[in-house]
Structure formats: structure tokens, C-alpha cells
Amino acid sequence: MNAVPSDQVQALVNERTLDPWRVHPQAGDLFHEHDEPIQGKLAKEIAAAKIPELRVLSANGAKALYSRDQADVPDMMKAVMFRSMPDVVVQPFSAEAIQGVMRFAAGKQVSILVRGAGSSPFGGSMPVTGGIVVDMNAMDRILDFDPQAATVKVQAGIRWADLEWFLEKKGLAVRSLPSSRFSTVGGWVAAGGIGIGSVSAGRLINSVLAVDIVTSKGELRTVTPEDKLFAPLFGSEGQVAVIATVTLKVRAKPSTTFPRIVFFDDLPSAMDYSIGLATADKKPMDLTYYSPAKFKAFNKVMHRDDFPVAHGILVTYENRNDPAVDIVPVPPSAKVAPPYLSHLMANERFFPMKFRKLGPGLMGSEVLAPKANLSRIVGKALEMCERHNIEPMLEVHFLDNGDGMLLCYYITDQTRQLKYTMDSFRGLLISKALYDEGAKPYSFGVWNHSFVDHADPHEAEELASAKRELDPQDIMNRGKGARLSGKFGGLPATLFSPAVMGSALRLVNKLGRVSASGINMIASGGLMVREDDDVLLDAADECAMCGACVGVCPAYLLTKDERVTARGKLLTARWMSNGMAISEEHAHLTFLCMRCKACEQVCQSKLSLVPLYEEIEKRLAEKHGRDDEQVRRFIETAEHSAYYDALVDRGLVLGAAGKDIEGGR
Ligand SMILES: Cc1cc2nc3c(=O)[nH]c(=O)nc-3n(C[C@H](O)[C@H](O)[C@H](O)COP(=O)(O)OP(=O)(O)OC[C@H]3O[C@@H](n4cnc5c(N)ncnc54)[C@H](O)[C@@H]3O)c2cc1C
Ligand code: SF4
Ligand code: SF4
């Protein structure tokens, strides 16, 4: 593929600092062309308030996308316990628009759920009491950039991958990022900010200079590290305020990246080695531990056999000046993987959902493990998985102080809802066992509510105090956090409370293998198995619903309606099979596809998506017809947008006919 000339790229980069809708009036026209009539009381009221720079989405098909996130809460629990369907979804384009929404919501005492990319699992970005979802994806601009000071100010809805791309052109890079680089900057602030680069840069909080927030009273405030409200924003999970902008420290782009996997036969040696490197003066950029079962799964899913099945640490150094000097220290008891395997793993860090195919389905527990108990906590995770007869695909992402974020993944089967539910329960049992060994929660969402008593008391009080100050009416992410709620008022809170669920989990764990065998027996039963043999449903089950495909989809970037994306289309397929009515407008959005295959390139589950689109479109066209002229016009406009040019520049566009890049527009 021809490269875009560099001056043109520079112009495109500069354009991202402006309002894309003003720069591309055609895109603005298209954006509104596909809006549907406003439906529902609350939606009509907020639309009538005529808040500037705000889009209102109210059709069922549009809202349903926001009633779940990555890794679904088991159907039977969700349906019984939560009101996950929002009353209305709004997309603000500016902090002022958010202020308008907050004043409206506070006046009506309606709950606000802020949503970034929706990449957190198990209800992290799903409402539990309906209300208003504030979708931050239209706030994706770079507002200010100071190359001398190496700082950048962004709207909170920008995705890490887009920011990386912008910085790369300037010879700069972010200091750390989540392996879900498709998630939003604001979302990672709210999630806690541990990921790739956390060994060298620490948690995200160390890289943030200021955050603009909108409180539930509609005030816009700038919060800096000196402010007592600053720390509680990190990991606040949308409970205290809407994060509108973030000012980040950035760094020079590394000249080289040098990953190596160092293998050990035993866990304690692997942990000691990692903690030693994480706390050394010259730290690696990143340090991640993988369990033997994880390497076994890599071999299986990638049809290879060259990953040793052992305890492996992926150590990544940067800016290696002398290629002859091996800067990764290797103790005599360890072995080093060849460079090609190390580079492969360094890339695979960004695709942790790939293993879903083996189910289809992936579950996981996620805890913070202090370095003093790290080896014991990881050992406990291995023991619990063995007890439950599941392959422990463990990862530990290290921090600069030697603590680690432990992810304990295992395969489940989403086509068997009973097994899926029992496997979720196993996840809770494993988490509880890890907390009882001294682990701390990283994030709560809905699923980890039973462990709120394990939170650091000082951090919990800081968060509660920030909530009292910024959201006294308790409209932010209402029903989550300290007090879970849902359809039946206090029932979910009681059921999932540390006193009820927490104690029950501890008891079941105490019963050891007896309870594990009981759970195994129920999980392996033949109840609630999906029997329909449908290629679309199979794909929907393999899809991680992670949203990686959303931010690279040119049709989405122009419409900001997720129904045009792979995630949206696979959900549409699932809804069709469940008998949900798909409107004509909804069907039409599904046809707006350029076949550019950007979605396939970034797909976490490595799905072959375009043939699935053909099938979905065929089924919808049979029912609703298809306006080919409208589709053609859309594609033509999309191909002439700066967003599309940017995707071409990033090498993401593979399939579309496209235009002559060198020849310009
Ligand atoms: C493949 C994959 C890899 C991942 N790797 C990591 C990782 O390395 N580290 C990690 O921490 N997580 C990881 N995650 C989980 C998740 O992607 C991250 O936590 C991510 O940063 C969440 O951002 P988001 O934009 O998707 O937010 P969402 O999932 O939409 O929201 C997350 C929470 O933040 C709140 N929120 C979102 N935006 C705002 C805002 N602007 N203001 C206030 N509150 C807001 C939401 O209400 C919700 O409570 C991974 C997930 C996947 C699928
Ligand atoms: S092929 Fe391109 S336009 Fe179609 S869904 Fe994938 S990314 Fe979007
Ligand atoms: S289609 Fe692929 S990238 Fe998109 S949500 Fe599903 S797994 Fe993620």
C-alpha cells in the first residue's frame, strides 16, 4: 500500500487538534442523517432541553449496546437483578455539554453512567438502575500540545491508540498504557491505570498533571496533584465525577525496544527475579509474568510448540544503545527464549482475549498482589485452579514498587449458560481465596462488590469523601460502589454484600475439593445449552465484545453509532436470533460498511468478520430492503474524510477499493 506523503500526514495530525465536524462538514451531515426519532419520556425531556453540542440516542437498538460491556454478566443474573438498559444515551462533544447533562440529571435525580470504550468486564461500564449513559466517544480531540514541556491535553474520550499515533509523529510516546490500547484515556483514569509501562512509570496517576472534571452539580473544575480530590479520581469507576479532559506527561519515543522472555522451573524463583528487576535502580519498561498454562495455551491457539511450558517473565527494556550487550540479566537457573519468541510475546501482550476461541469464552479474576505476599497469592491462584480442574492462564503485571496486578484467566463456554454462570461463581471463589491471602481489589464493577471490605481503608475513605463533596445527590454510577443496587432496590446489594456473598464464598472455599466437585458436576450438566447451529451466533460467542474494532472503524468514526461496527453487528445478530425487533434505521446502519477490514486487523478474537457482515446484511436486506444509493453515498463521503486518511496512514485499511492515495482527493 502506498504511504501518505509526510506533509499530508502532518496536516492530518494537525487536523486532529480541531473539531472534525467543522473540518469535515460532510461528516457532520452524515452524522445527523442517521439519527432516529427520539423515543421515551426521559429522552424527549433531555432533547427538549436543547443542550448545545449534545447528541441524544434513544432507539432500543442504540441503547441496548450500552446495556453490556466486555465479558457479559451471566444472563440469568442480569435479567433478574439489574436494570441494565439505559433510559437514554447522550454523546457530549464538549465539557459544556457534559455540564448541561449533569444539571439536567441532578434536577431530575436520574442516575449517570459514564462510558468510555466499554472495555471493562462484567458490568464495569453497564448501568444497574437505568438512567442516562454519557458516551464519551465523541470527545476524542487533542486540545493542547507542548512539545518542549512534553505534555499533552486531551478530551477524555480519546483512545490510547489514537493518542499514541499522534505522539509518534512528533517523536514522542505515552509513559504507560493499558493493553487495551483501544480504550479511552478517561476510562483508564477511572479504572485505576495499571498496565504496560507501570514498572518504569508507575501507575497512571504519576503521569497526569491535571484533570478537568464535571461534578454532578454541573461545575467544571480543574483538579491537580496537590488537590485532595486528585488521587480518588484514579480508580473511581465513574462514581464521583465525569472526567472531561486529562493533561498527561509524555516522553521521548524510545529508539529501540528489547523484549526477552526468561523462563524458570519454579514460581518462587520467577517472582523473586521479577521483584528484583521491578525494584532495581535501572528498571525495565515493562515486566509481565505468564504461567506455564498460559504458554501451553499460546502453543495451542497459535498452532505451535516452541513456547516452553514453564514460568516465564517477559522483560522489556528500551533504548538499548549497544546491540552487542545483553542488558537482560539472566540467573544461572533460568533460560532465555530466542528473540523471535520474545518479540512475538511482546506483541501478544496486546491480544489477551485471543484464547476465547478455545471456549468460546474467557473468565478471569483480577487482584492487586502486594510484593510481600505476591508469591503466595500467585501460588494460591494456581492451587485454586487445580482444585477446580481449570487450566490457570495467569499473568502478573508488575508495578515500580514490586507489587503486581494478577490476572487469573481460564476458559469457559458461553454457549452453555449454566456452565458460564458456574464458572463466574468459580471466579468469585478464586478471588475470595486470593483476598484472604492478602490481595487487594483493583476495580469493582458489579462483580467484585462482595469484596469491598478488602479495599484499602484509607483509599476507600478518600473515595467516599470525594463522593460526598462532588456528588452529594448520589447520581454518579448510582447503585454501584459502596452500595450495589438494581431492580429490587436493596436485594442485589444484600446478596452480593461482603457479609452475605463474601462469607458464603469463604465457607465454600473451606469445603475444599468437595465443593469444587459439586460445582464441576453442575457446570458439566447439559442444561441451558445453546443448540442453534448458526454461524453468526457462533461468532457472537467468540467475540470478546471488547470494542477494539470500534475506534478503527471509519463508518463509526463518521456516525459515532456503534451499530455500524463489528461489535454492534455481532450483537445485532444475537438480538435477531433472540427475536428482538430490528428497526429499518438499525438495519440501514448495518449496511454502512466499507469492507476496509480495519476491524479484522485489530480483532482480539481474530475473527474473520467480513463474511459475517455479508450474512448479516443478507438477512436484514431480506426483511428491510436496502438503499444502495445511500450506502454508496456514505462510502464515498467516508473515503474523503480525514479519519479514513488517518486509518490508511496507520496501515489499518486493507480491503476497501479506496482512492488513489498519492493522487490526493
Ligand atoms: C484486551 C483487554 C486488555 C485490557 N488491559 C488492561 C490493562 O492493561 N490495564 C487495565 O487497567 N485494564 C485493562 N483492561 C480493562 C479495560 O480495558 C481498562 O480498564 C480500560 O482502561 C477501561 O477504559 P474504557 O474506556 O473502556 O472505559 P469503560 O470500560 O467504558 O469504563 C470503565 C469505568 O470507568 C468509568 N469511566 C469511563 N470513562 C469515564 C470518564 N470520562 N469519566 C468518569 N468515569 C469514566 C466508567 O463509568 C466505568 O466505571 C483490558 C481490557 C481488555 C478487553
Ligand atoms: S470493514 Fe471497515 S467499515 Fe466495515 S465494520 Fe470493519 S472497520 Fe468498519
Ligand atoms: S469483533 Fe473482535 S475486536 Fe470487535 S468486539 Fe469482538 S472480539 Fe473485540
Asked if 341 contacts 306 with a C-beta cutoff of 8 angstroms, the reply is: yes
Q: At what angle do helices 267-278 and 374-387 cross, to 10 degrees?
A: 140
Q: What is the pLDDT of residue 527?
A: 62
The CB of 597 under 6 Å from ligand 2? The reply is: yes
What is the pLDDT confidence band of residue 17, given thresholds at 50, 70 and 90?
A: very low
Indicate if the pLDDT at residue 525 is higher than 80. no
More confident residue, 430 or 479: 430
Locate CATH 3.30.465.10 in the chain: 25-253+448-482
What is the pLDDT confidence band of residue 664, given thresholds at 50, 70 and 90?
A: very low
Q: What is the pLDDT of residue 100?
A: 98
- Architecture of the structural domain at 532-649: Orthogonal Bundle (1.10)
What mean pLDDT comes out for the span 400-420?
Answer: 91
Q: What is the pLDDT of residue 69?
A: 86
Q: Quick: pLDDT tens for 262-321.
A: 999 999 999 999 999 999 988 999 999 999 999 999 999 999 999 999 999 999 999 877
Ligand nearest to the CA of 139: 1
Q: What is the pLDDT of residue 34?
A: 53
What is the pLDDT confidence band of residue 22, given thresholds at 50, 70 and 90?
A: very low
Cα 380 to ligand 3 centre (Å)? 32
The CB of 599 under 6 Å from ligand 2? The reply is: yes
Q: Tell whether domain 25-253+448-482 is in CATH 3.30.465.10.
A: yes
Most confident of 69-73, 353-357, 378-382: 378-382
Q: Tell whether domain 257-441 is in CATH 2.40.128.110.
A: no
Indicate if the pLDDT at residue 431 is higher than 60. yes
Q: What share of the chain is helix, strand, coil (3-state, %, to 5)?
A: 45, 15, 40
Instruction: Single out the residue of 24, 158, 49, 155 nearest to residue 94, CA to CA.
Output: 155
Q: Quick: pLDDT tens for 52-109.
A: 989 999 999 999 999 988 877 777 778 888 899 999 999 999 999 999 999 999 999 9
More confident residue, 173 or 633: 173
Q: At what angle do helices 513-523 and 417-436 cross, to 10 degrees?
A: 160
Kindly report the protein residue whose alpha carbon is nearest to atom 7 of ligand 2: 553
Q: What is the pLDDT of residue 295?
A: 96
Q: What is the pLDDT of residue 12?
A: 41
Locate CATH 1.10.1060 in the chain: 532-649
C-alpha cell, 477: 454510577
Kindly report the protein residue whose alpha carbon is nearest to atom 2 of ligand 2: 596
More confident residue, 196 or 413: 196
Indicate if the pLDDT at residue 4 is higher than 70. no
Q: Quick: pLDDT tens for 557-581.
A: 888 899 999 999 999 999 988 888 8
What is the pLDDT confidence band of residue 447, given thresholds at 50, 70 and 90?
A: confident
**Range from 2-6, 113-117, 308-312, 567-571 carrying the lowest mean pLDDT:** 2-6
The CB of 375 under 6 Å from ligand 1? The reply is: no
Instruction: Single out the residue of 634, 651, 481, 505 nearest to residue 128, CA to CA.
Output: 481
Indicate if the pLDDT at residue 18 is higher than 70. no
Q: Which atom of ligand 2 is nearest to the CA of 569?
A: 5
Q: d(Cα 82, Cα 77) in Å, to the nearest integer?
A: 8
What is the pLDDT confidence band of residue 23, given thresholds at 50, 70 and 90?
A: very low
Indicate if the pLDDT at residue 462 is higher than 90. yes
Q: d(Cα 89, Cα 91) in Å, to the nearest integer?
A: 7
Cα 62 to ligand 2 centre (Å)? 18
Q: Quick: pLDDT tens for 217-230.
A: 999 999 999 999 99
What mean pLDDT comes out for the span 342-360?
Answer: 89
Q: What residues flank ligand 3, with Cβ below 6 Å? A: 543-549, 566-567, 602-605, 607
**Range from 3-17, 111-125, 232-246, 621-635 carrying the lowest mean pLDDT:** 3-17
Burial of 302: CB neighbours in 10 Å, binned 0-12, 13-18, 19+? middle
Locate CATH 3.40.462.10 in the chain: 257-441
Q: What is the CA radius of gyration of the chain?
A: 24
Cα 68 to ligand 1 centre (Å)? 13
What mean pLDDT comes out for the span 147-165?
Answer: 95
Kindly report the protein residue whose alpha carbon is nearest to atom 3 of ligand 3: 603
What mean pLDDT comes out for the span 244-268?
Answer: 95
Q: What is the pLDDT of residue 582?
A: 92
Indicate if the pLDDT at residue 600 is higher than 90. yes
Q: At what angle do helices 41-48 and 95-108 cross, to 10 degrees?
A: 130
Indicate if the pLDDT at residue 26 is higher than 60. no
What is the pLDDT confidence band of residue 526, given thresholds at 50, 70 and 90?
A: low
Asked if 263 contacts 311 with a C-beta cutoff of 8 angstroms, the reply is: yes
Q: Which atom of ligand 2 is nearest to the CA of 564?
A: 5
Q: What is the pLDDT of residue 659?
A: 41
> To the nearest 10°, the Cα dihedral for 370, 374, 377, 378?
130
Q: d(Cα 639, Cα 125) in Å, to the nearest integer?
A: 32
Q: Considering all CA atoms of the chain, what is the largest pairwise distance in Å, rounded to the nearest integer? A: 71
* CA 120 to centroid of chain Cα atoms: 4
Q: Helix count (H) and strand count (E) of the chain?
A: 28, 18
Cα 353 to ligand 3 centre (Å)? 9
Beta strands 172-174 and 242-252 are antiparallel
The CB of 543 under 6 Å from ligand 1? The reply is: no
Q: What is the pLDDT of residue 448?
A: 84
- Residue 142 parent element (H or E): strand 142-146
User: What contacts 553, CB < 8 A, 6 or more positions away?
Assistant: 564, 565, 566, 598, 599
Q: What is the pLDDT of residue 6?
A: 41
Q: Which atom of ligand 2 is nearest to the CA of 610?
A: 1
Indicate if the pLDDT at residue 451 is higher than 50. yes
Indicate if the pLDDT at residue 3 is higher than 90. no
What is the pLDDT confidence band of residue 324, given thresholds at 50, 70 and 90?
A: low
- Residue 572 parent element (H or E): helix 566-577
Q: d(Cα 382, Cα 389) in Å, to the nearest integer?
A: 10
- Tell me the β-bridge partners of 174: 250
What mean pLDDT comes out for the span 209-223?
Answer: 98
Give the chain's mean pLDDT: 88
